[in-house]
Amino acid sequence: MPNVLITGANRGLGLGLTQLYLADGWQVRACCRFPAEALELQELLEGSEDRLSIHLLDLENLKTVEAIKDTIGDDPIDVLLNVAGYYGPIVVSDPGGLQVFGTTDYDVFEKTFRVNVIGPMKMCETFVENVAFSDHKKMITISSIAGSIGENKSGKLYPYRASKVALNAIMKSMSIELKNREIIAAPLHPGWVRTDMGGPLADIDADTSVAGIKSVIDGMTMAHSGRYLVYDGSELPW
């Protein structure tokens, strides 16, 4: 039975992916900041046939990453799936949410970097041995088309774009450095999805996105490592 570790699993894409992997017979380690408040996640425990465990993880507190490592020990992790992300206190679809030039909140800028870049880096470093001991050997981090410099035609979104480009940079470096261990490392754009982060005007619903993400991950081989993949199977330029 393959297993996946998912961050940000209490809502949105993380919750949807948890449901999908469980339905496909996987064991899921679902991580979130407030397990006691993650009611939708808890509801999945019943019916999961003990294939779901819930773990406390706060990417702004890296000790919580190490605590999960202590719990898991040397058990293999087939897919490490970094989903947890941060856009800012005002979502993109709300007034003032576009992070326009001249209005930058530098505390938000730094928090965005901690959650979206340092967090996944710490996760990948901490669990690389678990992934290396598994059958699938995949480390996937949810990025965004906002992290494509080549596709940036609308500007703005400074803290978020910077973080997602930085994330793409580290996943690419991992794909090179971990190649000899046959680990697949890649950033993945989930589409613009109607979640709390994406807002109600986004292009696609969460079900479409997570089905695509799982299908892309299922089909990934070493040939896809270090590429900027999209939920629909296409590829983005850096």
Positions touching other proteins (CB under 8 A) are 62, 100-102, 104, 106, 109-110, 113-114, 117-118, 121-122, 124-125, 128, 147, 149-150, 152-158, 161-170, 172-178, 237-238
Cβ closest to other proteins, residue 91 vs residue 113: 113
Closer Cβ to other proteins, 35 or 97, answer by number: 97
Give the pair of three-digit tokens for residue 21.
């992997």
b (16+ CB within 10 A) / e for 63-94? ebbeebeeebeeebbbbbbbbbbbbbeeebee
Identify which of residues 194 and 224 has a Cβ nearer to other proteins in the complex.
Answer: 224
Largest CA-CA distance found in the chain, in angstroms, rounded: 52
Closest approach, Cβ 20 to other proteins, in A, equals 29
Give least dist CB 170 to other proteins, A: 5
- Shortest Cβ distance from residue 156 to other proteins (Å)? 6
Adjacent-strand bridge partners of 52: 28
Contact (CB, 8 A) for 169 and 113: no
Q: In the complex with other proteins, which residue's Cβ is closer, 33 or 113?
A: 113
Identify whether the C-beta of residue 124 lies closer than 8 Å to the C-beta of residue 118.
no
Minimum Å distance from CB 23 to other proteins? 33
How far apart are CB 65 and other proteins at their closest, in Å?
11
Helix (H) or strand (E) holding 3: strand 3-7
- Closest to other proteins by CB, 173 or 234: 173
Q: How many CA atoms lie within 13 A of 78 on its CB side?
A: 14
What gap in Å lies between CA 166 and CA 102, rounded to an integer? 22
